Amino acid sequence: MSTKHYFPSTAANTLVPRALRALVRANPHLELDYTDRVVSNAYHDNSLVSIIGGGGSGHEPAWGGFVGDGLLSAAVCGDIFASPSTKQVMKAIRLTPSSQGVILFITNYTGDRLHFGLAMEKAKAEGLVSNIAILAATDDVSIPKSKSSRLGRRGLPGHILTMKILGAASKQHYSFEKCLEIGQAVNDHTVTIGSSLDHCHVPGRQHQSIPQDVCVIGAGIHNEPGQQLISPVPSVEDLITRCIRLLCDSSDPERGFTTFGDGHSIVLVINNYGGLSQLELGALSDEVFAQLESNWNVLPVKALIGTFETSLNAPGFSITLCNLSNAAKQSKCDVDTLLQLLETSTTAVSWPNTTRPAHHEKRQSSSDLGSTSMETPGEGSIQIDPALLQRMIRQACEHIIAAEPKLTEWDMVMGDGDCGEAVKGLCESVLPLLDHEACQTGSVLDFLRQLSGCIDDMGGTLGAIFGILISAFQASLADVAKTWDSSADNASLYATALDQAVTSLLKHTSARQGDRTVMDVLIPFNARFIESGDFASAVELAKEKACETRYMEAKVGRATYVGQFHQVPDPGAWALFEILAGLAEVLSSSS
Q: How far apart are CA 77 and CA 70, in angstroms?
A: 20
Q: What is the bridge-based pairing of β-strands 74-80 and 50-57?
A: parallel
Give the other-Cβ count within 10 Å of 588's Cβ: 11
pLDDT at 555: 75
- What average pLDDT does range 231-246 have in this prediction? 97
pLDDT at 435: 73
- In the predicted structure, residue 554 carries a pLDDT above the cut 90: no
pLDDT at 5: 86
**Helix ranges, 99-140 (H):** 110-125
pLDDT at 409: 85
pLDDT at 376: 44
DSSP state of 9: G
- What average pLDDT does range 426-440 have in this prediction? 82
CA distances from 340 to 172, 301, 344, 578 (A): 11, 12, 6, 35
Q: Which of 222, 264, 360, 566 is catalytic?
A: 222
- What average pLDDT does range 142-166 have in this prediction? 90
- What average pLDDT does range 430-458 have in this prediction? 83
- What average pLDDT does range 95-115 have in this prediction? 94
Burial 364-389 (b: 16+ CB within 10 A, else e): eeeeeeeeeeebeeeebebeeeeeeb
Q: How confident is the model at residue 422 (pLDDT cuts 50, 70, 90)?
A: confident
Q: What is the mean pLDDT of the chain?
A: 89
pLDDT at 527: 96
- In the predicted structure, residue 457 carries a pLDDT above the cut 90: no
φ, ψ (nearest 5 deg) of residue 182: -65, -45
270 neighbors 281 (Cβ within 8 angstroms): yes
Q: Is 201 annotated as a binding residue?
A: no
Q: Is 476 annotated as a binding residue?
A: no
- What average pLDDT does range 213-239 have in this prediction? 92
- What average pLDDT does range 366-373 have in this prediction? 39
- Residues of the chain above pLDDT 70, percent: 90
- What average pLDDT does range 52-78 have in this prediction? 97
- In the predicted structure, residue 82 carries a pLDDT above the cut 50: yes
- In the predicted structure, residue 587 carries a pLDDT above the cut 60: yes
Q: How far apart are CA 315 and CA 324, in angstroms?
A: 29
Q: Is 58 annotated as a binding residue?
A: yes
pLDDT at 355: 61
Over residues 282-310, the pLDDT tens digits come to 999 999 999 999 999 999 999 999 999 99
Q: How far apart are CA 571 and CA 581, in angstroms?
A: 15
Catalytic annotation on 222? Answer: yes
- What average pLDDT does range 135-156 have in this prediction? 88
- What average pLDDT does range 539-556 have in this prediction? 89
198 neighbors 208 (Cβ within 8 angstroms): no
Architecture of domain 9-343: 3-Layer(aba) Sandwich (3.40)
Cis peptide before 352 (omega within 30 of 0): no
pLDDT at 1: 58
The DSSP string of 16-57 is HHHHHHHHHHH-TTEEEETTTTEEEETT--TTSPEEEEEEEE
Q: Could you state, in order of their start, the residue ranges of all structural domains in the chain? A: 9-343, 386-590
Q: How far apart are CA 283 and CA 265, in angstroms?
A: 24
Q: How confident is the model at residue 467 (pLDDT cuts 50, 70, 90)?
A: confident
Over residues 9-45, the pLDDT tens digits come to 777 789 999 999 999 999 999 999 999 999 999 999 9
- What average pLDDT does range 404-411 have in this prediction? 87
Partners of 359 in beta bridges:
none
- In the predicted structure, residue 161 carries a pLDDT above the cut 60: yes
Q: What is the bridge-based pairing of β-strands 215-217 and 74-80?
A: unpaired
The DSSP string of 272-334 is E-BSS-HHHHHHHHHHHHHHHHHHH----SEEEEE-SS--TTBSEEEEEEEEHHHHHHHTTS-
Q: How confident is the model at residue 461 (pLDDT cuts 50, 70, 90)?
A: confident
Q: How far apart are CA 465 and CA 375, in angstroms?
A: 24
Averaging pLDDT over each range in 138-147, 172-181, 477-486, 554-563, which range is the top one?
Answer: 172-181
- In the predicted structure, residue 383 carries a pLDDT above the cut 50: yes
96 neighbors 76 (Cβ within 8 angstroms): no
- In the predicted structure, residue 354 carries a pLDDT above the cut 80: no
Cis peptide before 351 (omega within 30 of 0): no
Q: Is 457 annotated as a binding residue?
A: no
79 neighbors 203 (Cβ within 8 angstroms): no
Q: How confident is the model at residue 408 (pLDDT cuts 50, 70, 90)?
A: confident
Q: Is 112 annotated as a binding residue?
A: yes
Q: What is the bridge-based pairing of β-strands 316-323 and 132-137?
A: unpaired
pLDDT at 455: 87
pLDDT at 144: 85
**Residues 6 or more apart in contact with residue 418 via CB below 8 angstroms:** 263, 408, 411, 460
Task: State the amino acid at position 86 in one-letter form.
Answer: T
Q: How far apart are CA 226 and CA 216, in angstroms?
A: 6
Q: What is the dihedral of CA 171, 177, 183, 189, to 10 degrees?
A: -140
- In the predicted structure, residue 370 carries a pLDDT above the cut 60: no
386-590: CATH superfamily? DhaL domain (1.25.40.340)
Report helix, strand and coil shares of the chain as percent, to nearest 5.
Answer: 45, 15, 40
pLDDT at 204: 75
